[in-house]
A and B are shown apart, each in its own frame.
Chain A
Amino acid sequence: MSRAFRRPIFLAGLLITLALVAVALLSLVWTPFLPSKMNIVHKLKAPLEYGLLGTDQFGRDILSMLMVGAWNSLSTSILAVLLGAGIGTAVGLLVAMRRGWTELVVMRGCDIIFAVPPILSAMMLAAFIGSGRFTAIIAIAVFMVPVFARLVLSAALQIWTRDYVMAAIGIGRSKARITLVHVLPNISSQIIVQVTIQLGLAILTEAGLSFLGLGMPPPAPTWGRMLADAQTFLGQAPWLALMPGMAIALAVLGLNMLGDGLRDILDPRDNS
């Protein structure tokens, strides 16, 4: 019952996410205007007055900037999550294989990394190596490592107690081989679900970093910086603050719904 009930969430999430990816890819080959083209005569135009969604303080087309922003936001977030998920998964698998004191050390380490919000680590990084996409990716990825290490460890430990793993140990398979052949494939659906959900968080974080000026530098349009710029013109052109925020919220909403939907479909245990 609840499974069928929740399917619309999966479908809605899938549709929103696909639309987001399509817009991001489309922006690579086509946008209505050049997103960096300034047109001071037509600055701060309302939606439909000039272009579909109006123009910013330099007369740049909002729709075009949003489209390129989708690509910038998505590509940064995907790179960051894949990096964090890759390292975190490797660490989790390794610890599940070895247990003992490594488990204690790694888990404490996870607590510690988790204690520094990505916004703050990005600030620390930015002070030394400057802000930009690289800083944003590293800051987000570092935060993702403990998320995936914890998840993979607890999931992998369960697999290590299964009969077929016992059997594999019994016939003398190496731990590394068991990890790759039995453990990883059996927890992969949980990792995929988590990647989807963490992508939403990464987009939120990337937007926050860009809002503070710690993301990709201008003139590359990002949703976060569009909001930061819009704040200066809240009185004159409040609509400027609507669209980039909607884009962020919609992207995160889509990914979260997709993640929840995937969890329902892939993980039959959690059916309450």
Chain B
Amino acid sequence: MMAILIRRILSLVVTLLVVSLLIFTVMDLLPGDPAAIMLGTSASPETLAALQHQLGLDQPLPVRYLAWLVGVLRGDLGQSYTYGVPVAGLIVERLAVTLPLALMAVVLSVLIAVPLGVQAARRHNGLFDVVAGMFSYVSIAVPAFWGGLLLIILFSTMLGWMPAGGFPGWEAGLLPALKSLVLPAVALALPQAGVLTRVARAAVLDVMNEDFVRTARAKGLSERIAVWRHAVPNALIPVVTMLGLQFTFLIAGAVLVENVFNLPGLGRLAYQALAQRDIIVMQDVVLFFSALVILMNFIVDLAYLAIDPRLRAGAQ
């Protein structure tokens, strides 16, 4: 168990290092000088040279990478060019919106998908199965940002129940802040729920034919108990895996949904940084998101070990 853990952690560190190197090199290899892009066309050569020096662009690539990496490890992600504040602070500030949004979406998608998938599997090929199948087809096909627009039309413009966008900040109180995250979270959760429903259904169908479920039923446990106590916990493994695999799409969705709902989250930060040519902020946010995805996959790997007794036994 310990050996596996150490090996996974080592591999995690190597992957993170390679990602950081890759992002840094790609940004460097792309045509265009960050300083020139940030300043626009009207800048004087002196200003340009000064900014290049300030950004360390007059140093060779390995030196710059190492300086950046050391900074990142110390929590210093550099200064935002447009905001004039440390990027680390910006990210933390914006994370206070994106993290709750993503969490709400994940919880919501699981709460929709698992019962739906389990029921669909129990009523295999029945009416419920067909309806659940249609739900997952449609919700996967509807882009989160369009779903968001539809929710705004329905719940804000027509019914007036929910704010159409914006974020009052956590200091405005828990309820108003959460309320402004509800519609975005639903928009973000639905496509995920579609994918997870399919996974949950397939997993329960697989598990229901296995010996231990048949034994449980033969013992005289009702079908409902056999399913929820034995089939569902085992079916959760693929659901958790899929959650990890889908994390990239959750982030992509968050970038879009934050823009639809005007939420001051990380995705919107990256988008604004692009509009303002704030290369450092973009580089850091992309690194942060990528690291998050990799970390997520790592956690899923660990969750695997925790959930699946066979893997745990095999590891000992």
A interface residues (Cβ-Cβ under 8 A, vs B):
1-2, 5, 108, 111-112, 114-121, 123-129, 200, 204-205, 207-208, 211-212, 227, 230-231, 234-235, 238, 241, 244-245, 248-250, 252-253, 256-257, 272
Residue interface bits B146-161, CB-to-A below 8 A is 1, else 0: 1001101100010000
Residue in contact with B256 in the complex, picked from A1, A211, A245, A257, CB distance below 8 Å: A211
How far is it, in angstroms, between the C-alpha of A257 and the C-alpha of B293 when the chains are bound? 28
Q: Is B297 an interface residue (CB 8 A)?
A: yes
Residue contact A5 to B125, C-beta cutoff 8 Å: yes
State the interface size on chain B (CB cutoff 8 A): 53
Chain B nearest CB: distance from A111 CB in Å? 6
Q: Is B145 an interface residue (CB 8 A)?
A: yes
Q: Is B31 an interface residue (CB 8 A)?
A: yes
New A-B contacts (10) at CB < 8 Å, excluding given A1-B125, A123-B271, A234-B153: A112-B22, A116-B286, A116-B289, A117-B289, A124-B283, A127-B282, A128-B27, A205-B252, A208-B143, A249-B138
How far is it, in angstroms, between the C-alpha of A47 and the C-alpha of B175 when the chains are bound? 39
B interface residues (Cβ-Cβ under 8 A, vs A):
14-15, 18-19, 22-23, 26-27, 30-32, 37, 125, 137-138, 140-143, 145-146, 149-150, 152-153, 157, 164, 202, 205-206, 248-249, 251-252, 255-256, 259-260, 270-271, 274, 277, 279, 282-283, 285-286, 289-291, 293-294, 297
Q: Closest residue of chain A to B296, judged by CB?
A: A115
Q: Closest residue of chain B to A121, judged by CB?
A: B286
How far is it, in angstroms, between the C-alpha of A234 and the C-alpha of B261 when the chains are bound? 13
Residue contact A129 to B30, C-beta cutoff 8 Å: yes
Chain A nearest CB: distance from B68 CB in Å? 15
User: Can you sample 10 A-B contacts with CB below 8 Å?
Assistant: A2-B125, A112-B19, A117-B252, A117-B289, A121-B286, A127-B277, A207-B143, A212-B255, A234-B164, A253-B141
**Contact A120:B277 (CB < 8 A) given known A204-B143, A235-B157:** no
Residue contact A118 to B252, C-beta cutoff 8 Å: yes
Do most interface residues of chain B lie in helix, strand or loop, or is the interface mixed? Answer: helix
**Contact A227:B145 (CB < 8 A) given known A2-B125, A115-B294, A128-B30:** yes
Q: Closest residue of chain A to B293, judged by CB?
A: A115
Residue contact A123 to B157, C-beta cutoff 8 Å: no
**Contact A117:B15 (CB < 8 A) given known A123-B286, A231-B260:** no
Residue contact B290 to A115, C-beta cutoff 8 Å: yes
Residue contact B143 to A129, C-beta cutoff 8 Å: no
**Contact A257:B137 (CB < 8 A) given known A127-B274, A245-B142:** yes
**Contact A115:B142 (CB < 8 A) given known A128-B30, A245-B150:** no
Residue contact B15 to A108, C-beta cutoff 8 Å: yes
Q: Closest residue of chain A to B291, judged by CB?
A: A115
Residue contact A116 to B290, C-beta cutoff 8 Å: yes
Chain A nearest CB: distance from B239 CB in Å? 17
**Contact A230:B32 (CB < 8 A) given known A115-B248, A249-B143, A272-B205:** no
Residue contact B274 to A119, C-beta cutoff 8 Å: no
Chain B nearest CB: distance from A268 CB in Å? 17
Residue in contact with B15 in the complex, picked from A112, A227, A231, CB distance below 8 Å: A112
Residue contact A245 to B15, C-beta cutoff 8 Å: no
Residue in contact with A124 in the complex, picked from B26, B142, B291, B294, CB distance below 8 Å: B26
